[in-house]
Amino acid sequence: MSNLIKIKDVSNKYDITARTLRYYEDMGLIESNRADDYAYRLYDDNAVRRIEQILILRKLNISIKDIQRIFAAPDSGAVLEVLDKKVQNIDDEVALLHELKDIVLDFIREIEQVNFTDNSDVKQLYDKAKEIETQLVSVDYIGKPSNSTVSRLAEITDKLDKKIPDVMIVRVPKFRAISGDIGELMGWAWSEGRLDTLFKDIIFDCADFMVRYSDKFEYTMAVRDNITDADVEPYKIHDFEGGLYAVAVSINEDHESIGKVEDKICERLNNTTNFVYDDSRGVLGTMPYLNESEDDEIKRGLGYFQLYRFVPIKLKDGV
């Protein structure tokens, strides 16, 4: 027992949550020990060294799937292959960024030539900056026709935008809910100070979801277990089924990015072997919040609010 380290101590030493440690164990990356008279997980020296290796690889943005490959390999071939691929990806992105930098510098030089006393020049400059990806290819600027450099800008930004965001797989629990156009009810509950007594948080410190079905959108709010239909009239309480979702974050002030994030989640799913999109359930959107003042703090810190997109998924047949 004395040579074993408690999960709490490992968590504190490496600034990693106990949940993450349990996840690593579930994925077969580490093993813990348990004594008959001790309820908590314990780790020996080998497990601690393995945890250190995992943390280093995750800092390098190596996926859990690739870490599994590395640990399962009999020699260093797998880790070298994974790291070589990572270097190539970095080199590709750096090359694109350097080219993008050159195009931006060229844009700056063109700005320096603008006659700001000429309203038409200023308007063209504004249009170019406002809708750079769509307008630069088709709009002449300072009398100069569109060229290959301008076309290349759209190609570069498109390639950089292909980077797929980190996708989490989460299980949204089944919960009691009301659904529909519930803005009026929300306003009443807020004015009466009853938000906390009526509704409860489900995930990411939020109670509400915007659910998109094939033909409609509706709000869905989680209600507390002691709430009855009479408390939320004219709405009726129903069971929201929950289930597995693939989740990524977008910036709510950029409506275009919301769709892109959803597309990229689906792209990530298409590249996996275990999950597929479940079209029998709606796509969820939600914005984490605790209270109004903390919302303001989040926005001041990040410059935007975060909107989470939940794409319903299920295991592929035969998995």
Prediction pTM value? 0.50
- In this structure, the answer to whether residues 267 and 225 fall within a common structural domain is yes
**Type and span of the H or E element at 312:** strand 306-315
- Reported as a single tens digit per residue, the pLDDT across 70-94 is 999 999 899 999 999 888 888 887 8
Residue 135 has pLDDT above 60, yes or no: no
pLDDT value at residue 100: 76
- In this structure, the answer to whether residues 205 and 102 fall within a common structural domain is no
At residue 2 the predicted structure's pLDDT band, cuts being 50, 70 and 90, is low
- In this structure, the answer to whether residues 204 and 97 fall within a common structural domain is no
Distances (CA, A) of 118 to 62, 121, 123, 127: 52, 5, 9, 15
What does the alpha-carbon distance between residue 263 and residue 257 come to, in Å, rounded to a whole number? 10
pLDDT value at residue 139: 38
- Reported as a single tens digit per residue, the pLDDT across 187-206 is 777 777 777 788 888 876 66
- In this structure, the answer to whether residues 149 and 180 fall within a common structural domain is no
> How many domains, in total, are found in the chain?
3
Query: Can you read off the two tokens belonging to residue 168?
Result: 């989490």
Return the CATH number at 184: 3.20.80.10
Q: Domain span at residue 144? A: 80-160
Return the CATH number at 34: 1.10.1660.10
pLDDT value at residue 1: 47
Q: Cβ-count burial of 47 within 10 angstroms (0-12 exposed, 13-18 middle, 19+ buried)?
A: buried
Is 274 in a helix, a strand, or coil?
coil
At residue 319 the predicted structure's pLDDT band, cuts being 50, 70 and 90, is low
- In this structure, the answer to whether residues 14 and 136 fall within a common structural domain is no
- In this structure, the answer to whether residues 144 and 174 fall within a common structural domain is no
- In this structure, the answer to whether residues 154 and 176 fall within a common structural domain is no
Mean pLDDT (whole number) for 291-313 = 64
- Reported as a single tens digit per residue, the pLDDT across 178-188 is 888 766 767 77
- Alpha-carbon dihedral angle through residues 143, 146, 150, 155, given to the nearest 10 degrees: 160
Nearest to 52 by CA among 21, 74, 23: 21
